[in-house]
Amino acid sequence: MGSNLCIRAEKRSGERVRQALLRLGLYDRSRKIREEGGSILIPILRPLEAACTLEGEVTTADLPPSAKRPRTLSEALGEAVPRDLHALLPRSYDAVGDILVVESLSDGLLPYRGEIGKALLRLNPGMRTVMLKTGKVAGEFRVPRLEVVAGEEKWETVHSEYGIRVKVDLSKVYYSPRLGWERFRVASSVADGETVVDMFSGVGPFSLMIAKCAMAHVYSIDLNPDAIRLLSENVSLNRLCGRVEPICGDARAAAAQLGAVADRVIMNLPGRSLEFLDAAAGVLKPGGGMLHLYVFAKEDPLRGAESALRRVADLYFASYNIRGTRVVKPTAPREWQVALDVWAEPRSP
């Protein structure tokens, strides 16, 4: 006879008994449930009180210990990585659907990237793939540089945020889940009936969020044909109250074709957005509208971002007013991505 106290219950009522034990604080999580014939043996912490009636009989049996789930990456790795390197382990990573993306590893940890990836999968059971960023987003199509280090060789996934679903292919398009709140913040300010131009839409997270929140007409422009293809799929994936119109092409040329239609313009291309202020001015309605502009800034990021805008804004706008400035995320040591909310009135042609 084994030494672990348990309840023998019929299989058909086993889950009901387990839930009752959980409510009573009697379920022993340190042991595994075991099947025996047509019954299951559910571990309990102590004998039942006389007044406690459950479907089953109290007995004893040998029950194996439950596998302890690691709480930290260091615990999950154990000795797979030398202990003197554990202080260098990444403390954060991005979840894009069921893919984890690690931003960087120190040189000392690179030989152990496979072990680190496997440990991250143990730590995050719902994930299927771990990737490591190997360089900056590159090329005119903004394609990320990533390497699969653990799990499935899988690049496509569907990411959910704030009620929308976004299909991405990380081998062909850039996507950052860290802008989820920012996208929701901007979309929440859009009113029904607005026309919005999303000048660098990618797979459409800003556009989709806006069309989810408001009955707006969103023109979504991107140069990357894979991004536009995925955006078209994403429109079908979501129940939207607004309309999203994908446009594949150069943002400046597409804006010129649209003309002065926009109540609001999204400019999420931090490295080059200021170069396209002329196109943004041309697509705004004559009475003015809102720009949501994203830039990179160093040192004092809020003041730096505002100064960068002021150096060029007078060339294209008869008047403008910075309504809000906020740091979105760090992007490098002493560098940040900054959001500028700007009401602007374009100069007369």
Rounded to whole angstroms, the Cα distance separating 37 from 246 reads 60
The 10s digit of each residue's pLDDT in 314-334 is 999 999 999 999 999 988 888
pLDDT-derived band at 1 (thresholds 50, 70, 90) equals: very low
Per-residue pLDDT, averaged over 92-103, amounts to 94
Fold of 4-61: Alpha-Beta Plaits (3.30.70)
Residue 51 is predicted with a pLDDT of 62
Residue 275 is predicted with a pLDDT of 96
Fold of 73-154: GMP Synthetase; Chain A, domain 3 (3.30.300)
Is the CATH code 3.40.720.10 the one for domain 176-346? no
Q: Are 289 and 343 in contact (CB under 8 A)?
A: yes
Bridge partner list, 243: 217
DSSP annotation string for 292-348? EEEEEEESSHHHHHHHHHHHHHTTTEEEEEEEEEEEEEEEETTEEEEEEEEEEEEPP
Q: Are 345 and 265 in contact (CB under 8 A)?
A: no
The residue extents of the domains of the chain are 4-61, 73-154, 176-346
Per-residue pLDDT, averaged over 193-201, amounts to 98
The 10s digit of each residue's pLDDT in 26-73 is 888 888 899 988 899 999 988 887 666 778 888 899 998 887 778 899
The percent of residues in the chain predicted with pLDDT above 90, rounded, is 75
Could you give the angle at which helices 180-188 and 205-213 cross, rounded to 10 degrees? 40
Rounded to whole angstroms, the Cα distance separating 175 from 104 reads 16
Per-residue pLDDT, averaged over 87-104, amounts to 94
**φ and ψ at 282, to 5 degrees?**
-70, -25
Q: Sign of dihedral through CA atoms 246, 216, 253, 274?
A: negative
pLDDT-derived band at 23 (thresholds 50, 70, 90) equals: confident
Residue 336 is predicted with a pLDDT of 94
Q: Where are the beta strands (DSSP E) in the chain?
A: 4-10, 34-36, 39-43, 57-61, 94-96, 99-102, 129-138, 143-151, 156-161, 164-169, 195-198, 217-222, 243-248, 264-267, 289-298, 317-332, 335-346
Q: Are 312 and 291 in contact (CB under 8 A)?
A: no
Rounded to whole angstroms, the Cα distance separating 6 from 36 reads 12
**Whether pLDDT at 341 is above 90:** yes
Rounded to whole angstroms, the Cα distance separating 113 from 88 reads 12
Q: Which of 16-30, 98-112, 207-221, 282-296 has the lowest mean pLDDT?
A: 16-30
pTM exceeding 0.75? yes
Rounded to whole angstroms, the Cα distance separating 172 from 155 reads 9
Per-residue pLDDT, averaged over 333-340, amounts to 93
Residue 2 is predicted with a pLDDT of 61
Q: Are 161 and 183 in contact (CB under 8 A)?
A: yes
Per-residue pLDDT, averaged over 267-285, amounts to 96
